[in-house]
Amino acid sequence: MRVSKTITKQVHRARALAVLANNPACRWLVHKTEILDELGRIESDYAMLIIAKRICELKPATAEAVEMVRRHREFDQLADEIAHVVNDYRKRNPDTTRQEVLQALETAGMLLNRTTDRGVPGSHQFLRKAEAATPAGISEKDECVQGQA
């Protein structure tokens, strides 16, 4: 098992070096094996280069740089899963426009920002209607106070 992990790390490191070695902006990373191991796991060469350049600008400690790369990969995975869900939805509903998808994503973002412990499943159906019905002079804080009265 240990040999397999070592080989995997070496493959990722070699891939990262192949992408980054000839880029002068990434020279700082050439001997940072742990960071290269993580960078080599990023599927897109372009994304790897962008993150590597940012790490070279910041010159963080190794553990912090590795965490930066891991956070990017997790974010990328989340974005990929969201895109798959949207694509599956559009296959089932081919008349859905790009604008409708973008509006739904915006609404989902607002819901995630407003999530509370009292969140009600399916409340997204009423979100736009509620916002449209909110009088212009009332702030979110005022709405909360009115809702508690």
Q: How many domains does the chain have?
A: 1
Supply the pLDDT for residue 148.
44
How far apart are alpha carbons 4 and 73 in whole angstroms? 22
Question: pLDDT (tens digit, 9 = 90+) per residue, 118-130?
Answer: 555 444 444 444 4
What DSSP designation does 134 have? S
Residue 48 lies in a domain: yes
Which of the four pLDDT bands, split at 50, 70 and 90, describes residue 115? low
Output the CA angle 26-6-57, nearest 5 degrees: 15
Q: Which range is least confidently modeled, 62-66, 79-83, 131-135?
A: 131-135
Nearest Cα to 103, choosing from 130, 88, 124?
124
CA dihedral 139, 145, 146, 149 (to 10 degrees): 180
Supply the pLDDT for residue 80.
86
Backbone angles phi, psi at 96, to 5 degrees: -65, 125
Q: Which range is least confidently modeled, 70-79, 98-107, 133-142?
A: 133-142
Residue 17 lies in a domain: yes
Mean pLDDT value across residues 16-29: 91
Distance between first and last Cα of the chain:
62
Find the domain containing 9 and state its range.
1-75
Mean pLDDT value across residues 42-56: 90
Residue 115 lies in a domain: no
